[in-house]
Amino acid sequence: MKWMKGMFLLLIANILIMVTLSLTVPILINVILPMFGIDLRGSVDLSSLVWAAMFGFGGAFISLAFSKQMARAMLDCQQITQPHSHAEHAIYGSVQEIAQRLHVKMPEVWVYDSPDPNAFATGPSKNNSMVAVSTGLLQNLKEDEVKAVLAHEMGHVYNGDMFATTVLAGLMNAFVYYIAMWVRRFFGERDQAALGFGLSLVLQIVVSILASVVISWFSRHREYGADAFSARVYGKDAMISALRAIDRWVNRAQFQYSTQDALATMKISGKAGGIMSLFSTHPPIEARIAALERL
């Protein structure tokens, strides 16, 4: 029942966040802000904060809890339980070796049909996770490069990146909900409910966009950690070679990747430049190679 332990840790983390907010928000409103001439006393409803947290964290937790099921439903994939081909032996054996080294439960290993060379890891905890690779990855990368990518994904699993990203997303969602609820209540008390409703919708959109920038930045930061993990397992040259092979495929195919993906734990084809880079879940490949070379 290790999955229950993972969910329990998620619950405890969110309880701690809510306790922290419930203690710090009153101090901020009643003590600190009045010292600077900002008086919000009576304007902040802690019950609204609780409801915002329930909506914000609830959606993030449900998404994480069923992330494996959603991944399998969204993709044309096949699980490897008993490897038959040489490629399946290499994939399954690499994940198994790393899992044993890290003393974590063997993740589910899947291969999904897609021409682009990619991979991802998801699941509610390090002992209840899955790792999937695309057929394009197997067709375009050498065996040692595929293993480096798998080590990268196992780095996400071991580092608890799915958990950390979920907590951050829940916190951002709760903040967005709370802002909207506060605006509606503020204008509702002044008999301007329609104005408050419209303004809250606009603020939700704007703040959600800003929150996604924070979440995307955090995701890019975690990618460097997963790359470093892969370098420790199989050496940095293998991961650098894998990234260069993927970059060559992207340039050759001129494939435009989406920067937003519900499964994006490794959208490894990130490109630099433009304001849209703020919403990219992965750093540019050249930046990742440079970071690996500095190791």
Q: Quote the pLDDT of residue 17.
A: 61
- Please state, in angstroms and rounded to a whole number, the distance separating the CA atoms of residues 103 and 231: 19
Q: Is residue 120 predicted with pLDDT exceeding 90?
A: yes
- Residue 19's pLDDT band (boundaries 50, 70, 90)? low
pLDDT for position 22: 64
When comparing pLDDT for 235 and 44, which is higher?
Answer: 235
Q: So what's the pLDDT on residue 9?
A: 57
Amino acid found at 88: E
Across residues 245-262, what is the average pLDDT? 64
Per cent of the chain over pLDDT 90 is 34
Q: Which residue has the higher pLDDT, 281 or 26?
A: 281
Could you give the CA distance from residue 99 to residue 29 in angstroms, rounded to a whole number?
A: 47
Alpha-carbon distance 20 to 13, whole Å? 11
pLDDT of 223 > 80? The answer is: yes
Helices (H), the chain: 2-27, 33-35, 46-65, 67-74, 86-102, 135-140, 143-159, 161-188, 193-234, 236-253, 285-293
- Can you tell me the mean pLDDT for 6-10? 56
Per-chain mean pLDDT for the chain: 81
- What mean pLDDT comes out for the span 214-240? 93
- Which of 5-9, 53-57, 137-141, 163-167 bottoms out in mean pLDDT, i.e. has the lowest? 5-9
pLDDT value, residue 260: 38
Going by C-alpha positions, the residue among 277, 295, 291 that lies closest to residue 243 is 291
Q: Is 91:77 a contact under the CB 8 Å cutoff? A: no
pLDDT at 269 over 60: no
pLDDT exceeds cutoff 90 at 253: no
- pLDDT at residue 25, as a whole number: 65
81 or 200: whose pLDDT is higher? Answer: 81
**Whose CA is closest to 56, among 173, 162, 169?**
173
State mean pLDDT over 113-140: 91
Q: Mean pLDDT over residues 146-160, rounded?
A: 94
Lowest mean pLDDT among 16-25, 126-135, 149-158: 16-25
Which are the catalytic amino acids? 153
What is the predicted pLDDT for the residue at 188? Answer: 73
User: 256-290: b or e for each residue (b if 16 or more CB lie within 10 Å)?
Assistant: ebebeeebbbbbbbbbeeeeeeebbbbbbbeebbe
Q: Is the pLDDT of residue 18 over 70?
A: no
